[in-house]
Homo-oligomer: A and B are copies of this chain.
């Protein structure tokens, strides 16, 4: 068995097609790297998940304890989980519904926990990646901004823009032409020693790795600025990198026709993130 899925704690249980996660994308997810059975940044993932549930009015009653039971079950039932690296995907939906957007506040959320083995790419963090600028833009809505919710059609459309395997990621702008993020990662750049990242006040995902990188930078006395800028600011950047919980930090060495070095701030942050993983 190389992949395992628990639905509300049960192996190979079935998802009700009337689940509101399917009907409306009415839910949230977390994608978590596991090393030898340890989900990295587990507390940070739980915090983002529960605070997003609260924003959407999805019950968190007993949720954390249940998810931790699910992890125990994975450890007990799947020896590979404790022995190798993998990706844990935790999805929480509002639960089953009748037709219509209104929901009963007593509905029980659905918990889907899936794990599959995953071997990290070692080349990309070391040598850097080539990225492109996507045409697909992100709509702005502060009510949804920051959450890793299940309404991800914009990301699907942005990722569908290219198939060239040399391109590892695409940068997306908001509909006003400001830098937002990558299709599946957060964006950082460095200029004159200052670390910049988009505010994501109106769109995008507040990645757990983004939060951790900003913490690590502040501890290391690197100035961090959250800004809303057009992509032209990258023309004068000294370093660019992308990050998420699963890939870690990927230096960007090529964007459109411009090349970038893998710079010292990127290498310093990579080293600090590596320490978290020990």
How many copies, total? 2
- With a cutoff of 8 Å between Cβ atoms, the chain B residues found around residue A5 in the complex are 17-18
User: Contacts A140-B139, A175-B140, A175-B141: A26 and B156 contacting too (C-beta < 8 A)?
Assistant: yes
A residues touching B (Cβ–Cβ < 8 Å)? 5, 7, 14-26, 29, 31, 56-57, 87, 89, 91, 93-94, 99-103, 112, 114, 116, 136-141, 143-144, 149-160, 175, 183-184, 203
CB distance from A263 to the nearest CB of B (A): 28
Partner of A25, one of B24, B57, B158: B24
**Interface-centre pick from A26, A29, A114, A143 (highest chain B CB count, 10 A):** A143
Closest to A203 in B: B139
A160 near B15: Cβ-Cβ < 8 Å: no
Q: Would you list 28 pairs from A and B whose C-beta atoms are within 8 A, ordered by A residue?
A: A5-B18, A14-B14, A14-B15, A15-B16, A17-B112, A22-B22, A22-B91, A22-B93, A22-B150, A23-B150, A24-B25, A24-B152, A24-B153, A24-B155, A24-B156, A25-B25, A25-B151, A31-B99, A57-B160, A94-B156, A101-B155, A101-B160, A101-B184, A102-B160, A103-B156, A139-B144, A140-B175, A151-B152
